[in-house]
Structure 1
Amino acid sequence: MSEKLSNTEVVLLDKVNQLIDDNLGNESFSSDTICKEFGLSRSQLFRLIKESSDLSISLYIRQRKLQKARDLLVNSELKISEITYAVGIDSPQSFSKYFTESYGVSPTEYRKNKDKMTVQYNSQDIYNKVLVESHVSTKTFNKNWLWGIPILLVLFSSIYFFQKNNAIDNQTTTDNSIAILPFKNIGNIDNAFFADGLVEQVHSSLTLLKKLRVISKNSSSQFKDSQKTIPQIASELQVAYILDGTIKQAGSKILVSIELVKAREDKTIWIKSFEAETNDVIGITNKITKEIIEVLREQLSDIDTQQSNKIQTENTEAYNEYLQGRQLLATRTKEKMIASLEKMDKAIALDPSFADAYASKAGVYFSLGNLNYINLDSSFRMAEQEALEAIRIDVANAEAYGLLAAIYRDQHKWEQANTTFQIALRCNPNNAQVNYWYSLMLRSLGMLDEALAYSTKALLLDPLSPVILGGHIRNCSYAKRIDLVNEAIKKGKLLFNDSYLFYWSTGYHYLDIKDYPKAFSDLTKAKQLNPTVKGIEAAIAYTQACMGQDVAAKNYLTTLANIPDNYTYFAMVYAGLKDKENSFKYLEQMAALKQIPTDIKVSPFFKSLKGDKRFDELLKRFGLHDVKVEVE
């Protein structure tokens, strides 16, 4: 018997464990409940738990909840969201985070590989049981039970190997790649929403298939009504297959024709027509999606078709409101985005369990704040609320997780953002935007090789996005991969010669390598293409300062109002003028407002400040000094 726990305390601990197990689904259950039940003080309970497990009371309770959840993942058909609430954890997001932290894999991955995982974690349970039943603390184990260390190393390395293999499994081959072109709507204009919705649903389902690269709708949509041949389109998108379709209304019926083409040979390998009543758009959409996945399973090598994405509502009217809201959101004008919110609210009123509608609502709020249409903090708060509701309903909603992660990134909650980005990419590794957003966060942290890996994948998924190419160019430049920069610039000149984003990014690259004449030329070109972007003008003034044109740079400063929106620009240009005092003055004013320039750790604008203790202190205040996060 342990010297730390008496026989009476061992019996009491068993009773405490039983009480916790009996109240797993009770969210209001706490240490106070235990104290009241057994007449203990908090200090007595703390000592009992601490000396038996070396955990705090709250962590001890959570661990028992997670053990029960793990059993339910293996031995029940309950959804993950249902398991979350069955064990009394406040949200699926928290459950996924806690589970992943404890067992090294997400709940979804654990269930999918339950036989392998059960063997691994039964070994972990034996180790935990030895510690608890022998009442040996972790510290004691470290001193006296050294024989267990090799076993634990094997255990943890096997988990790591599983995770890495799982990540490798998500990689795609050239042949296993597809683009879905916008379906042609023939006749009734009202069917445009259905056509867009059908493409969106098919796209969402295909992106869930492992080892299949699905091109982003952003890139595919650029070929709407294109006169280019299928092989030409496939070459630009770098895919092996093209999916195309037409939709026509005939009286009370909708006729849909779908065609799958092997692009290199311009050969139709599958074509089928579908027919349904106009009031059964959900039924026909699910049917079409299912058949397309089955065809792909037969045609493509080694893809996992077990996972698919059904429409999350059976209410046709709610679905139509949702589709119209999505179309309005794409415009990015304030008026239409507000109208999009109204459409999503109608969809939710018609079906309160419509998770995608909540996720889209979160996207609207996030965009409204980032476009300065509403207060940013308010937009983050409302977006987070809607995203969490989407996850409560659908624990695998990748869009909601991606938005949450972006919010946490912008709030400088790096660890929280990192965990949430990884959950989003486990739910949907083919989401180009989430891969790109994740790369931006990693870049801000100074993890440039990792940032480059994710922007490379984002570019493969959305090859015609000037935004992603521009961000990728900066990642390549900051990572000192000049070969990749030159390759990306060559591609950009062919595709985006009229995009200010392209020249803005190349200008930053030339600043980074101190080729100031080229930087000035490209930034000036970016300004000509879009004179409304204030950041470009500030970058030009910084470049002029670096070229010795101090008068021009100082003249620019006189045009700026001394308001928080301009503090970044003041700090940039003063840094270019080598006026550290004024540069730090504005950076400190930003920090007082809990703001910091994007990419301050790696961008060319603040290189001259590095090495100054004030610069290091700024990084520390925002958690950026020597920070590293675990990247899968």
Structure 2
Amino acid sequence: MKRCPECRRDYYDDTLLYCLEDGNALVQGSVPSPDEPATAILSEPGAIATGFSADEPQTAILHSTAASGETPTRAHIHTTEQTAILSTGAEADPRESLGGVSEKHSFSANKAAKPLIAAAVAVAILVGGFFGYRYFSASGSKQINSIAVMPFVNEGGNADVEYLSDGMTETLIKSLSELPNLNVKPRSSVFRYKGKDTDLKTIGKELNVEAILNGRVIQRGEQLTLSLELVDVQNDKVLWTESYGRKQSDLVSLQSEIARDVSTKLKLRLSGADEAKVTKTSTANPEAYQAYLKGRYYWNRRTGENLKKAIEQFKAATDRDPNYALAYAGLADCYVVLNQYAGTPLTETIPQAKTYAERAITIDGQLADPHTALGVIYEQSWQWAEAEREFKRAIELNPNYATAFHWYATFLRNTGRTNEAVPLITRAQEIDPLSSVIHSEVAVIFLVQNNYQAAIETCLKIIELDPAFSNAYQYLGLSYFKVGRNAEALTTLEKAVELSKRDGEKLRYLGYGFAIEGKRVQAYAILKELEEKYVKKEANGRDVASVYAGLGEKDKAFEWLEKDFQTKAGEFSPMTWEIPFETLRGDSRYKDLLKRMNLPE
């Protein structure tokens, strides 16, 4: 039997030399007292090319100042002609340290020369092996500080189960993101790789993570099988694999179990509070949980139609569990962006969003999501101080929540504080390096700062990564106009309209482009379409006003802006930077609008 002198774990495998927990050299039999040097016996030196016979065991005495579990450094090592000693900082004479060993092996100078050289070689091998073990085993025992949870593969290919594989991935990302010292890449970054056969090392380099977790989900009737593989991408080493078989009704408890197991395998040192966070469940109702996963599935597709489907599913979740905080937060998120994606008037969305966000916070005050939603709600209501308070609170609750940084940066940009927005959007980029939405906000900030070339380059990079992202074409087209590339600008804006399926926001910029290029027939055709959408609550007055401003019809532009102001039907604060309104900013009516919203001119 062997025992570790530090953690005192027993090993019955006599071939082991070092402790698997902390890397310390194992000793034979009982552990010596703390004030006694640990002794490692090379029981068969003849097996090493030292010149020693097998019946002459040699001893290396290792004294160390390194703390328990700490890897000794070269500074701790002091070498004599007879042994290698890990110094205590107040060494005794090496000859005294050897004590009985010197007496047992008292050789004459001539007779001792050969064995002493061999002893030094043996000890060097021992110490080298110790450090080698600590170094080369580090990848298996070190704490992982960054991870990407890749989209779980829907192994059966059943489209009806896609929400399950996506939702389980997102839930695990959210759980692990609660840990303060773990960098977890957000959904928007990892889902770029969905369906692609990208090399893990490439993904690790692009996302700047140490580890990647892959998963495969198979559903057969009510039975679910989830297979996981944790890979250290820096050392190309599989750290852990596991397979879980559960009934679909056990999905909630399975998610907690997975989160706990993964955090353990990452070698994270969790406090009781951290473990509670990572294994926390917001509902015990499996039907509510599955409805919530479907809601997130539709929410992430971010179109007007899909947002309405998401609302249906989140409401189904709250019907099954009236205390499901995350489902209420999901509802708040949907209503916050419904004006942007579906043209639903703010007079309808704000009250709903506020009710659901506050309900989520009442149930669980530690959720960052509803505080972020409240920040946008207050911004849309022109309550600027309250909006900033909520954004700050969200970041305080979850410093890894990229959306909170992004939406706070947008708020600052809309209220004329662009310089303050820069570090916030930079932080959002660090958390979520491949998010098209976040990068598009970077492009907008460049536009506001009149750095048009940087805006162009940013948009082109987004399109390279995400060629179907319509916002990138929108801001690229506007940037082209600012540098005189008008023909390219119109082509690019037409592409934005096509990709968005003729969304009101994209149409207004195309209409504005036609207007300033003198293509008045096309501009008026866009105006007609936008006015029809306005009646159907699919566009804002600000959209219509943009085209009139481009046509030089200022009175009409202010008429439509006033409609939005009086009804609060559309988001207003972005007009402070938007390019179509540049020709209106010298008008007293424009300044009056800002004053009535308590915004700086």
Asked if these proteins are the same fold (TM beyond 0.5), I'd say yes
Q: Go from structure 1 to structure 2 and tell me whether the alpha carbon gap of 1:518 and 1:192 turns closer, same or farther (over 3 Å shift).
A: closer
Among 229, 237, 259, the alignment partner of 2:199 is 229
Query: Which residue does the alignment assign to 1:501?
Result: 471
Shift of 1:569: 4.2
Query: Which residue does the alignment assign to 2:187?
Result: 217
Tell me if the contact between 1:286 and 1:310 (Cα under 8 Å) persists in the aligned partners: yes
Which structure is higher in helix share?
Answer: 1
- Aligned to 2:212, the other structure's residue is in SS state strand
Among 530, 542, 550, the alignment partner of 1:568 is 542
**C-alpha distance after superposition, 1:560-604 (max 9, x if no partner):** 648674643443234334444443343334333335645211122
- Aligned to 2:266, the other structure's residue is in SS state helix
Shift of 1:290: 1.4
**Counterpart Cα distance in 2 of 1:272 and 1:474:** 44
Query: Which residue does the alignment assign to 1:137?
Result: none
Mapping of 1:490-529 within 5 angstroms?
Answer: 490-513=460-483, 515-529=485-499
Check if 1:593 corresponds to 2:567: yes
> Letter of the aligned partner of 1:478 in structure 2?
V
**Counterpart Cα distance in 2 of 1:392 and 1:192:** 32
Mapping of 1:477-626 within 5 angstroms?
Answer: 477-481=447-451, 484-513=454-483, 515-530=485-500, 532-547=502-517, 553=523, 557=527, 561=531, 565=539, 567-594=541-568, 595=570, 597-625=572-600
- Aligned to 1:600, the other structure's residue is in SS state helix
Check if 1:285 corresponds to 2:255: yes
Q: Go from structure 1 to structure 2 and tell me whether the alpha carbon gap of 1:516 and 1:393 turns closer, same or farther (over 3 Å shift).
A: same
Q: Go from structure 1 to structure 2 and tell me whether the alpha carbon gap of 1:326 and 1:591 turns closer, same or farther (over 3 Å shift).
A: closer
Query: Which residue does the alignment assign to 2:136?
Result: none
Tell me if the contact between 1:326 and 1:360 (Cα under 8 Å) persists in the aligned partners: yes
**Counterpart Cα distance in 2 of 1:250 and 1:552:** 55
Q: Go from structure 1 to structure 2 and tell me whether the alpha carbon gap of 1:515 and 1:443 turns closer, same or farther (over 3 Å shift).
A: farther
Shift of 1:315: 2.9
Shift of 1:176: 4.2
Check if 1:472 corresponds to 2:446: no
- Aligned to 1:614, the other structure's residue is in SS state helix
Shift of 1:278: 5.2
Shift of 1:559: 6.6
Q: Go from structure 1 to structure 2 and tell me whether the alpha carbon gap of 1:577 and 1:344 turns closer, same or farther (over 3 Å shift).
A: closer
- Aligned to 1:408, the other structure's residue is in SS state helix
**C-alpha distance after superposition, 1:163-194 (max 9, x if no partner):** xxxxxxxxxxxx94322112234459687555
**Counterpart Cα distance in 2 of 1:383 and 1:249:** 35
Q: Go from structure 1 to structure 2 and tell me whether the alpha carbon gap of 1:596 and 1:362 turns closer, same or farther (over 3 Å shift).
A: closer
**Counterpart Cα distance in 2 of 1:602 and 1:539:** 14
Shift of 1:299: 9.9
Mapping of 1:88-487 within 5 angstroms?
Answer: 176-186=145-155, 194-248=164-218, 254-276=224-246, 279-298=249-268, 307-308=277-278, 310-331=280-301, 340-368=310-338, 370-372=340-342, 376-481=346-451, 484-487=454-457
Count of paired positions:
449
**Counterpart Cα distance in 2 of 1:282 and 1:560:** 45
Q: Go from structure 1 to structure 2 and tell me whether the alpha carbon gap of 1:536 and 1:319 turns closer, same or farther (over 3 Å shift).
A: closer
Q: Go from structure 1 to structure 2 and tell me whether the alpha carbon gap of 1:236 and 1:553 turns closer, same or farther (over 3 Å shift).
A: same
Mapping of 1:50-61 within 5 angstroms?
Answer: none
Tell me if the contact between 1:406 and 1:437 (Cα under 8 Å) persists in the aligned partners: yes
**Counterpart Cα distance in 1 of 2:562 and 2:420:** 29
Shift of 1:291: 2.2
- Aligned to 1:258, the other structure's residue is in SS state strand
> Letter of the aligned partner of 2:591 in structure 1?
D
Shift of 1:473: 0.9
Tell me if the contact between 2:541 and 2:564 (Cα under 8 Å) persists in the aligned partners: yes
Tell me if the contact between 1:179 and 1:239 (Cα under 8 Å) persists in the aligned partners: yes
Q: Go from structure 1 to structure 2 and tell me whether the alpha carbon gap of 1:550 and 1:225 turns closer, same or farther (over 3 Å shift).
A: closer
**C-alpha distance after superposition, 1:346-385 (max 9, x if no partner):** 4334433221122223334445555448654233212221
Structure of greater Rg: 2
Shift of 1:224: 2.8
Tell me if the contact between 1:369 and 1:380 (Cα under 8 Å) persists in the aligned partners: no
**Counterpart Cα distance in 1 of 2:224 and 2:455:** 48
RMSD: 3.6
Q: Go from structure 1 to structure 2 and tell me whether the alpha carbon gap of 1:519 and 1:370 turns closer, same or farther (over 3 Å shift).
A: closer
Identical residues among aligned pairs (%): 31
Shift of 1:478: 1.1
Q: Go from structure 1 to structure 2 and tell me whether the alpha carbon gap of 1:378 and 1:551 turns closer, same or farther (over 3 Å shift).
A: closer
Q: Go from structure 1 to structure 2 and tell me whether the alpha carbon gap of 1:519 and 1:386 turns closer, same or farther (over 3 Å shift).
A: same
Larger relative contact order, structure 1 or 2 (CA cutoff 8 Å, min sep 6): 1
- Aligned to 2:283, the other structure's residue is in SS state coil
Tell me if the contact between 1:188 and 1:249 (Cα under 8 Å) persists in the aligned partners: no
**Counterpart Cα distance in 2 of 1:381 and 1:623:** 21
Shift of 1:422: 1.6
Q: Go from structure 1 to structure 2 and tell me whether the alpha carbon gap of 1:529 and 1:298 turns closer, same or farther (over 3 Å shift).
A: closer
Q: Go from structure 1 to structure 2 and tell me whether the alpha carbon gap of 1:538 and 1:321 turns closer, same or farther (over 3 Å shift).
A: closer
* Structure 1, unaligned runs of 5 or more: 1-174, 627-632
Mapping of 1:27-66 within 5 angstroms?
Answer: none
Q: Go from structure 1 to structure 2 and tell me whether the alpha carbon gap of 1:320 and 1:526 turns closer, same or farther (over 3 Å shift).
A: closer
